[in-house]
Each structure stands twice: as C-alpha cells, then as structure tokens.
Amino acid sequence: MSSTRTTPPSPAGTGRSVRRPGDRVFAGTAKGAGILILVILAGVAAFLVVEAVPALTAPAEDIPGGGGLASYIAPLVFGTLLAAVIALLVATPLAVAISLFIGYYAPRRIAQGLGYLVDLLAAIPSIVYGFWGIFWLAPKLVPFYQWLERDLGFIPLFAGPASTTGRTMLTTGLVLAVMILPIISAISREVFLQVPSLHREAALALGATRWEMIRMAVLPYGRSGVIGGAMLGLGRALGETMAVAIVLSVSGGITFNLISSGNPSTIAANIALEFPESSGIDINTLIASGLALFVITLAVNMLARAIVNRRADFSGAN
C-alpha cells in the first residue's frame, strides 16, 4: 500500500495556507533584525546630531583654527574624498583584472591559491598597512615623485615640490588601494563566475576569442556587481583611520598637489589624532566632522544602490 501525505487545509474563508511555527519564528527574527539595524542607525545619527549641535552654534573664534566650522571641516572632507577616489581609481581596474585572471585564465590549482592569497589581504590589520606604507612604500616612491615633478610638473597634480619622505596623498591613496583590493576583487570574482555558461559557450561558438567572450558576455553581466563592490571598497576607504594617520604628512589645506608634503588630512585620521588632547567644544567639533563623514558614507551607499539597480536593468543578465 502506498501512503499519501496531505497538506493541512487552510482555515475556511482565509484563502491562505497555514504557516508552520518555524516559518513564523524565522520571519519574526528576520523582521526584528531589520528593525534593529534601523534603530541602531537612527541612534548613531541622533547621537552625532546632538553632540554636534554645540559646534554648529558656537562662534567662529571658538572653533579650532578660528575660521568657523565650515572652514575646519572643508579641508578634511576634501582630503577624505581625494584619498578615497585615488584608491578607487587604482584598485578597481586591478581588482577586475585579478578577478578575470583567476576566473578565466589561471589554471585551477593556481587560481584557487591566488584567490585565497588575495582574500588574505583583507585580514591584515590596517596598522600593519600603515607601517608598510611609511617604512617601505613611501621611501621607494620618492625617486618616482621627483621624476613626476621634473617631467610632468606642468600638471597641477604633480606640481611639487616633491616630498623627500614620500608621505604624500598619492602614497596614502596607494595604501588604501591595496586595502580595498580584496573587497572589490572578491565580489567581482563571484559575480563573474555566475555568468551563465550558455552565454559564454554561445560567444565561443560564434568564433569569439576568450577576451572577446569576456568583453561581450562576462563584463556586461557583472557590471552591476563590480560597481557594487567598488562602492563597498569606497566606503572602506572613506572610513580608514590608522593607515592614513600613520602614512599621511598633514601640513596643508585644500590642494590637488599629490606629491608634496602639504596635504589635507582625512576626517577619520584627524579624529584619531586630535581626540586624545581635545576637550569641550573641540570634542563637539570633532563629532561634527564625524557627522559629515556619516552623511558622506550614507550618501555613497545610497548612490551605489541607485547605480546598481539602474545598471541591473540593462545588464547582460537580462
């Protein structure tokens, strides 16, 4: 005899199936976790706003530097964005190239080991990156900066005078690029490997080379994923503290000169360096700069979400 298993009937008039207790517990837990994240985010925002109000309403002469809150935060915002953009411009193409090599060019054994090695970069503490940047990378870049000043000094980015220590904004951006490389690479690699085999095989069957297959099938499919990974990396670069505080030589305001010793600081590094010796309105000023970083990070994440959603409608997946 064969036994059949029947689904419990739904209550009369409800038109809905009865959910099991486990489903209800899981749904409630997931909903509670989502609400908790929003509550924490709202609490952080409220704390920053409340603590920043004294600095927002204080006279200009009470703010460090004597020029007002805007003149204090503006160079920090500029330095934060400049360092993060340099890191993003360097890390994104390199991460995409590494992801494509691991996924479509390297032999399987080498690809697996190389993938682990790249992912291992994310486990290195930021202070180690800072020591590597100041003691090894910065001195190695000094001759390169001198060459840039001598041969490309007509470009404002390399106007000089070149730093004799190498602790410049460009060095800081390169250190940040290495730090965000595993984030972008890991996400890009996973997205590229999700390309349907039918797309790849169809391109190859039409006579495309491996690179043409990647250009026509893989890159369009993974474009939104690469953008999302790049935005995550940008968020990491915006908030990096210790590596920037160790590597960057801060002695200037807003400038696009990337190879000189006069560099604007970043918000996170400035808070880390100034907070131990601050009190009173100085602390409120630092918290106000933290509020600016919070708004920038939130805006970057919202922009990334909008870009990913828009690109997904036109990606190769569709």
- What is the reported pLDDT for 11? 52
- Total structural domains within the chain: 1
- What is the reported pLDDT for 54? 87
DSSP state of 136: I
User: Do the domain assignments include residue 83?
Assistant: yes
User: Do the domain assignments include residue 63?
Assistant: yes
**Chain-wide mean pLDDT for the chain?**
84
User: Do the domain assignments include residue 14?
Assistant: no
User: Do the domain assignments include residue 235?
Assistant: yes
Any idea what the Cα angle at residue 40 is, between residues 36 and 43, rounded to 5°?
Answer: 135
The residue behind tokens 């509020």 is 291
Handedness of CA 284, 289, 291, 292 (dihedral sign): positive
Handedness of CA 98, 213, 311, 315 (dihedral sign): negative
Mean pLDDT is lowest, of 52-61, 145-154, 179-188, for 52-61
The DSSP string of 231-243 is HHHHHHHHH--HH
User: Do the domain assignments include residue 225?
Assistant: yes
DSSP state of 263: B
For the record, the structure tokens of 270 come out as: 């400035």
CA distances (Å), origin 222, targets 92, 101, 190, 218: 13, 15, 9, 6
User: Do the domain assignments include residue 186?
Assistant: yes
Q: Considering the entire predicted model, what is its pTM?
A: 0.84
The DSSP string of 216-279 is IIIHHHHHHHHHHHHHHHHHHHHH--HHHHHH--B--SS---SSSS-B---HHHHHHHHGGG--
The CATH number for 177's domain is: 1.10.3720.10
Helices H / strands E in the chain, number of each: 12, 0
pLDDT tens, residue by residue, 190-247:
888 888 888 888 888 888 888 888 888 888 888 888 888 888 888 888 888 888 989 9
Q: Which residues lie below 8 Å from residue 122, measured CB to CB, with a gap of 6+?
A: 182, 183, 186
CA distances (Å), origin 297, targets 205, 236, 244, 246, 300: 45, 9, 17, 22, 5
Domain that holds residue 179: 24-314
pLDDT tens, residue by residue, 95-139:
999 989 988 888 888 888 888 888 888 888 989 999 999 999 999
Contact 189, 225 (CB under 8 A): no
CA gap 154, 158 in Å, rounded: 7
Pick 315 or 20 by higher pLDDT: 20
User: Do the domain assignments include residue 201?
Assistant: yes
pLDDT tens, residue by residue, 8-43:
555 555 555 677 887 888 888 998 999 999 999 999
User: Do the domain assignments include residue 5?
Assistant: no
CA gap 134, 217 in Å, rounded: 42
59: cis peptide before it, omega within 30°?
A: no
Any idea what the Cα angle at residue 276 is, between residues 275 and 281, rounded to 5°?
Answer: 50
CA gap 265, 117 in Å, rounded: 31
